[in-house]
Amino acid sequence: MVIQVKNVNKSFKQEDGDILHVLDNINLDIKDREFICLLGPSGCGKTTLLRIIAGLDEPDSGEVNDSAGLIKGPSRDRGFIFQQYSLFPWMTVLDNVVFGLNMCYPDKKEENLESAKRYLQRVGLEDFQNSYPYQLSGGMKQRVAIIRSLLNHTPVQLMDEPFSALDMQTRHTLQEQLIGVWKRFDTTIVFVTHDVDEAVFLADKVVVMDKNPGRVKDIVSIDLERPRKRESTEFLKIQEEVMESLGVHDME
């Protein structure tokens, strides 16, 4: 087990003074190298839960533990990729990727540079290593952010809707690439999405959440071989099962 979420509750005070109970008694076990998707309607507390796992927010009650014990704050062991691409605008693509590596391994600058170049090549960005973030498309920027985070060999990656701003084709390509790098790096990923197709394509387990207050409604294991085929009967069947569990029709 890498991360255990135990009886986590979280409320926020709203501007009008009301208390909003966002997370209600959340329990979740995340295993080493698992790909978990947190799926649920807007406002069900996915980001709040991810931030608590990251150590960026504290629960009001309950706790989150990782293999080192109680999570009390952010750690280098848990990388966070936000919805917006978090690249340094003043650095080239290569410098952005190599920056974190040099922080972690300051004695291996030459090797760091080589790994950064190799991985940029693997995601088709070798011709853009000297470009600046503003010169890239959204999909390219997100690829750089993912490579940068994965190259730090962070054992746990927390991703908050990293592909939500992208067009469908780019999104599908990045999903495939993410599965590739996830396997290669042996990381554990907790990925927030409100997209059923994305969750079924990516996850080993989909954690279906409900809102008002945010609860774990269901956990659906996706026992489909990878690479997954969206048009296969099995894929469509599980997608239907997840939609049923989510109560998609209630959300409309």
CB of 176 to ligand ATP, least distance (A): 23
12 near ligand ATP, rule: CB under 6 A:
yes
CB of 241 to ligand ATP, least distance (A): 21
Among 22, 26, 36, 94, binds ligand ATP (CB under 6 A): 22
CB of 252 to ligand ATP, least distance (A): 16
For residue 39, report the phi and psi dihedrals to the nearest 5 degrees.
Answer: -125, 135
Beta-carbon contacts of 246 under 8 Å, excluding residues fewer than 6 positions away, are 39, 40, 41, 196, 208, 217
For residue 234, report the phi and psi dihedrals to the nearest 5 degrees.
Answer: -65, -45
Query: Which one, 46 or 148, has the nearer CB to ligand ATP?
Result: 46
| SS3 track for 129-180 | CCCCHHHCCHHHHHHHHHHHHHHCCCCEEEEECCCCCCCHHHHHHHHHHHHH
Beta-carbon contacts of 52 under 8 Å, excluding residues fewer than 6 positions away, are 5, 8, 10, 23, 58, 59, 64
46 near ligand ATP, rule: CB under 6 A:
yes
196 near ligand ATP, rule: CB under 6 A:
no
82 near ligand ATP, rule: CB under 6 A:
no
Among 24, 36, 47, 142, binds ligand ATP (CB under 6 A): 47
43 near ligand ATP, rule: CB under 6 A:
yes
Token duo for residue 204: 């080993």
Among 8, 28, 37, 45, binds ligand ATP (CB under 6 A): 45
Query: Which residues make up the interface to ligand ATP (CB under 6 A)?
Result: 12, 20, 22, 40, 42-48, 194
